[in-house]
Amino acid sequence: MELFRLTAHELAELLRKREVSSYELTRSVLTRIGEVEPQIQAFISVTGELALEMAQQADKLLSKGEAPSPLTGIPVAIKDNMCTRGVLTTCASKILGNFVPPYDATTVANLRKAGAVFVGKTNMDEFAMGSSTENSGIKPTFNPWDLTRIPGGSSGGSAAAVAADMTIVATGSDTGGSIRQPAACCGVVGLKPTYGLVSRYGLVAFASSLDQIGPITKDVADAALLLNVLAGHDPMDSTSANVNCPDYTQYLGQEIKGMRVGLPREFFGEGLDAEIESCVRAAVDQLHSLGAEIVEVSLPHSPYAVGTYYLCATAEASSNLARYDGVKYGLRVEADNIIDMFSRTRSAGFGTEVKRRIMLGTYALSAGYYDAYYLKALKVRTLIKRDFEQAFEKCDVIVGPTTPTPAFRLGEKTANPLEMYLSDIFTISVNLAGICGISIPCGITQSALPVGLQIIAPAFEEGRLFTVANAYEQATSWHRQRSQYLKV
Is residue 397 within 8 Å of 468, Cβ to Cβ? yes
Preceding amide of 298 cis, omega within 30: no
Instruction: Single out the catalytic residue among 28, 136, 178, 439.
Output: 178
Distance of CA 270 to the CA centre of its chain: 26
Q: Which of 195, 181, 200 is nearest to 130 (CA)?
A: 181
| Helix, strand or coil, per DSSP, at residue 441 | strand
121 is catalytic: no
487 is catalytic: no
Beta strand pairing status for 75-79 and 117-122? Answer: parallel
**Cα distance between the two ends of the chain:** 15
Q: Which of 118, 182, 185 is nearest to 155 (CA)?
A: 182
Instruction: Single out the catalytic residue among 22, 79, 155, 423.
Output: 79
Is residue 421 within 8 Å of 306, Cβ to Cβ? yes
| Helix, strand or coil, per DSSP, at residue 343 | helix
Distances from the Cα of 471 to the Cαs of 221, 288, 402, 458, in angstroms?
A: 11, 11, 18, 19
Distance CA 56, CA 247 (A): 27
178 is catalytic: yes
| Partners of residue 213 on adjacent β-strands | 173
Instruction: Single out the catalytic residue among 22, 131, 132, 154.
Output: 154
Q: Which of 183, 189, 420, 206 is nearest to 324 (CA)?
A: 206
Beta strand pairing status for 169-173 and 213-217? Answer: antiparallel
| Helix, strand or coil, per DSSP, at residue 350 | coil
| Helix, strand or coil, per DSSP, at residue 80 | coil
What positions carry a catalytic annotation? 79, 154, 178
